[in-house]
Structure 1
Amino acid sequence: MVNQTYSFERYLNVRTAFGPHFSPDGRTLSFLTNITGVAEVWRVPLEGQTLTPFWPDQLTFRGERVMGATYSPHTDELLVSGDIGGNEQAQLFLLQADGSSFNQLTTNLEAMHLFGGWSPDGQSITYSSNERDARYFDVYELEMASGKSRKLLQQDGTNYVNGYSPDGSQLLVSRWDSNTRNQLFLVELASGSVRALTPDIVADERGVIYQSVAWSSDRRGLYLLSNRDRQFHALAYLDLTSLDFQYLREDSWDVELLAVTKDGKTLAMALNEDGYSTLEIFDVSHGWESRQMLVAPTLPRGVIYEMVWSEDGTQLALSYATADDALDIWIWNLQTGTIKRATQSSRGGIPRSAFVTPTLVRYPSFDGREIPAFLYQPRDQQQKVPVVINVHGGPEGQSRPLFDPVTQYFVAQGYAVLAPNVRGSTGYGYEYQSLDDVRLRMDSVADLQHAALWLRESGIADSERIAVMGGSYGGFMVLSAITTYPDLWAAAVDIVGIANFVTFLENTGPWRRKLRESEYGSLEQDREFLEKISPIRSVDRITAPLFVIHGANDPRVPVGEAEQVVAALRKRQVPVEYLRFEDEGHGLIKRSNRLQAYPAIARFLQHYLASPSKESPTIE
Structure 2
Amino acid sequence: MSKKKTTSVAVKQFSVEQFFSIRSIYGFKLSHDSKTVFYITNTTGTPQIWSVPIIGGAPKQISVWNDSVKAIYQNPKSPELIFLSDYNGNENLQIYKIPSDGGEVTHVAGDNQSQTMFVGFNKGGTKILYSTNRKLSYNFETFVHDLKTGKEKRVYGFDDPTATIAEEWSDNSRYITFVKMYGNINTDLLLYDTTSRKLKNITGHDLSVDTFNAGSEFDNKNRGFYFVSDEGRDFKGIKYYDIKKATSNWVVKHHWDVANFVLSDDNSFMIYTLNRNGNLSPYMLNLKTGKSSKLNLPKGNYSSLKITKDGKKLVYVFESPLNPADIFTYDFKSGKITQLTDSLIGGLGKEGFTVGKDIFYRSFDGKKIHAILYIPRGTKKNGSNPAIVWPHGGPEWQEVHNFSKYIQVLTNSGYIVIAPNFRGSTGYGKKFQKLIYKDWGGAEFKDVLGAYDYLCSSGFVNRKKIAVVGGSFGGFMTLTCVTKAPERWRCAVDIFGPSNLITFVNSVPEHWKSGTDILVGNPVRDKGLLEERSPINFVDKIECPMLVIQGRHDPRVVEAESGQIVKKLKSSGKDVDYILLEDEGHGFSKVSNQIKVFKAKLEFLNKHLRSNKSK
What band does the TM-score fall into relative to the shorter chain? over 0.9
- Work out which of the residue numbers 224, 247, 252 in structure 1 matches 2:250: 247
Q: What are the Cα deviations for residues 381-437 of structure 1, in whole angstroms up to 9, with x where unaligned? A: 212311111111111100111111221122122210111101110000111111111
Q: Distance in 2 between matches of 1:494 and 1:3?
A: 27
Q: Distance in 1 between matches of 2:379 and 2:175?
A: 59
Q: Distance in 2 between matches of 1:387 and 1:251?
A: 36
Q: Which residue number corresponds to residue 20 of structure 1?
A: 28
Deviation at 1:440? 6.5
Deviation at 1:200? 4.8
Q: What are the Cα deviations for residues 353-389 of structure 1, in whole angstroms up to 9, with x where unaligned? A: 2211111001221112221100010113212311111
Asked if the contact 2:168–2:216 (Cα under 8 Å) also holds between the matched residues in 1, the reply is no
Q: Larger deviation: 1-10 or 436-445?
A: 1-10
Q: Does structure 1 residue 595 correspond to structure 2 residue 612?
A: no
Q: Distance in 2 between matches of 1:101 and 1:419?
A: 44
Deviation at 1:37? 1.2
Q: Which residue number corresponds to residue 44 of structure 1?
A: 52
Q: Which residue number corresponds to residue 476 of structure 1?
A: 476
Q: What are the Cα deviations for residues 38-90 of structure 1, in whole angstroms up to 9, with x where unaligned? A: 211100112xx3xxx42211111113111111111111111111111000010
Q: Does structure 1 residue 567 correspond to structure 2 residue 570?
A: no
Q: Distance in 2 between matches of 1:532 and 1:200?
A: 34
Asked if the contact 1:60–1:99 (Cα under 8 Å) also holds between the matched residues in 2, the reply is yes
Q: Which residue number corresponds to residue 35 of structure 1?
A: 43
Q: Distance in 2 between matches of 1:161 and 1:32?
A: 24
- Structure 1 residues 337 and 458, CA gap change in structure 2 (3 angstroms): closer
Asked if the contact 1:179–1:516 (Cα under 8 Å) also holds between the matched residues in 2, the reply is no
Name the aligned partner's letter for residue 297 of structure 2.
T
Q: Larger deviation: 221-230 or 78-87?
A: 221-230
Q: Does structure 1 residue 235 correspond to structure 2 residue 243?
A: no
Q: Which residue number corresponds to residue 343 of structure 2?
A: 345
Q: Distance in 2 between matches of 1:325 and 1:166?
A: 37
Asked if the contact 2:282–2:294 (Cα under 8 Å) also holds between the matched residues in 1, the reply is no
Asked if the contact 1:357–1:376 (Cα under 8 Å) also holds between the matched residues in 2, the reply is yes
Deviation at 1:505? 1.1
Q: Which residue number corresponds to residue 617 of structure 1?
A: none
1:497-536 matched pairs, under 5 angstroms: 497-536=497-536
For residue 511 of structure 1, give the secondary structure of its aligned residue in structure 2.
Answer: helix
Q: Larger deviation: 172-181 or 66-75?
A: 172-181
Q: Does structure 1 residue 375 correspond to structure 2 residue 359?
A: no
Deviation at 1:220? 3.3
Asked if the contact 1:394–1:472 (Cα under 8 Å) also holds between the matched residues in 2, the reply is yes
Q: What are the Cα deviations for residues 295-337 of structure 1, in whole angstroms up to 9, with x where unaligned? A: 72412x2112321233443332211210111111111233544
Q: Which residue number corresponds to residue 615 of structure 1?
A: none
1:421-500 matched pairs, under 5 angstroms: 421-439=421-439, 441-500=441-500
Q: Does structure 1 residue 316 correspond to structure 2 residue 317?
A: no
Q: Larger deviation: 475-484 or 249-258?
A: 249-258
Deviation at 1:573? 1.5
1:12-411 matched pairs, under 5 angstroms: 12-46=20-54, 49=55, 53-156=56-159, 157-200=162-205, 202=207, 205-216=208-219, 219-284=222-287, 286=288, 290-293=289-292, 296-299=295-298, 301-382=299-380, 383-384=382-383, 385-411=385-411
Q: What are the Cα deviations for residues 85-136 of structure 1, in whole angstroms up to 9, with x where unaligned? A: 0000101011100102221112522111111111122121111110111111
Which runs of no fewer than 5 residues in structure 1 stay unpaired? 613-620
Asked if the contact 2:440–2:520 (Cα under 8 Å) also holds between the matched residues in 1, the reply is no
- Structure 1 residues 393 and 177, CA gap change in structure 2 (3 angstroms): same
- Work out which of the residue numbers 5, 8, 19 in structure 1 matches 2:16: 8
For residue 523 of structure 1, give the secondary structure of its aligned residue in structure 2.
Answer: coil
Q: Distance in 2 between matches of 1:273 and 1:109?
A: 40
Q: Distance in 2 between matches of 1:315 and 1:15?
A: 24
- Structure 1 residues 7 and 439, CA gap change in structure 2 (3 angstroms): closer
Q: Distance in 1 between matches of 2:220 and 2:303?
A: 25
Name the aligned partner's letter for residue 101 of structure 1.
E
Asked if the contact 1:224–1:236 (Cα under 8 Å) also holds between the matched residues in 2, the reply is yes
Asked if the contact 2:11–2:352 (Cα under 8 Å) also holds between the matched residues in 1, the reply is no
Name the aligned partner's letter for residue 355 of structure 1.
F
Q: Which residue number corresponds to residue 618 of structure 1?
A: none
Q: Distance in 1 between matches of 2:178 and 2:105?
A: 28
Q: Distance in 2 between matches of 1:123 and 1:548?
A: 48
- Structure 1 residues 373 and 3, CA gap change in structure 2 (3 angstroms): closer
Q: Does structure 1 residue 550 correspond to structure 2 residue 550?
A: yes
For residue 476 of structure 1, give the secondary structure of its aligned residue in structure 2.
Answer: helix
- Structure 1 residues 60 and 579, CA gap change in structure 2 (3 angstroms): same
Q: Distance in 2 between matches of 1:83 and 1:527?
A: 34
When the two chains are superposed, the root-mean-square deviation of aligned CA atoms in Å is 1.8
Asked if the contact 1:297–1:339 (Cα under 8 Å) also holds between the matched residues in 2, the reply is no
How does the TM-score come out when normalised to structure 1? 0.93
Q: Distance in 2 between matches of 1:578 and 1:291?
A: 56
Asked if the contact 2:313–2:330 (Cα under 8 Å) also holds between the matched residues in 1, the reply is yes
Q: Larger deviation: 87-96 or 133-142?
A: 133-142
Name the aligned partner's letter for residue 542 of structure 1.
I
Name the aligned partner's letter for residue 370 of structure 2.
P
Q: Which residue number corresponds to residue 4 of structure 2?
A: none
Q: Distance in 2 between matches of 1:345 and 1:91?
A: 28
Deviation at 1:458? 2.1
Q: What are the Cα deviations for residues 564-586 of structure 1, in whole angstroms up to 9, with x where unaligned? A: 11011111111111000111111
Q: What are the Cα deviations for residues 146-165 of structure 1, in whole angstroms up to 9, with x where unaligned? A: 11122111112422222211
For residue 6 of structure 1, give the secondary structure of its aligned residue in structure 2.
Answer: coil
- Structure 1 residues 446 and 116, CA gap change in structure 2 (3 angstroms): same
Deviation at 1:199? 0.6
Deviation at 1:463? 0.4
For residue 511 of structure 2, give the secondary structure of its aligned residue in structure 1.
Answer: coil
Asked if the contact 1:16–1:34 (Cα under 8 Å) also holds between the matched residues in 2, the reply is yes
Deviation at 1:265? 2.3
Deviation at 1:348? 2.5
- Structure 1 residues 441 and 207, CA gap change in structure 2 (3 angstroms): farther
Q: Which residue number corresponds to residue 576 of structure 2?
A: 576
Asked if the contact 1:322–1:403 (Cα under 8 Å) also holds between the matched residues in 2, the reply is yes
For residue 351 of structure 2, give the secondary structure of its aligned residue in structure 1.
Answer: helix
What is the identity percentage for the equivalent residue pairs of Structure 1 and Structure 2? 29
Name the aligned partner's letter for residue 175 of structure 1.
K
How does the TM-score come out when normalised to structure 2? 0.94
Q: Distance in 1 between matches of 2:211 and 2:607?
A: 47
Name the aligned partner's letter for residue 303 of structure 1.
N
Q: Which residue number corresponds to residue 5 of structure 2?
A: none
- Structure 1 residues 337 and 432, CA gap change in structure 2 (3 angstroms): same
Asked if the contact 2:63–2:103 (Cα under 8 Å) also holds between the matched residues in 1, the reply is no
For residue 375 of structure 1, give the secondary structure of its aligned residue in structure 2.
Answer: strand
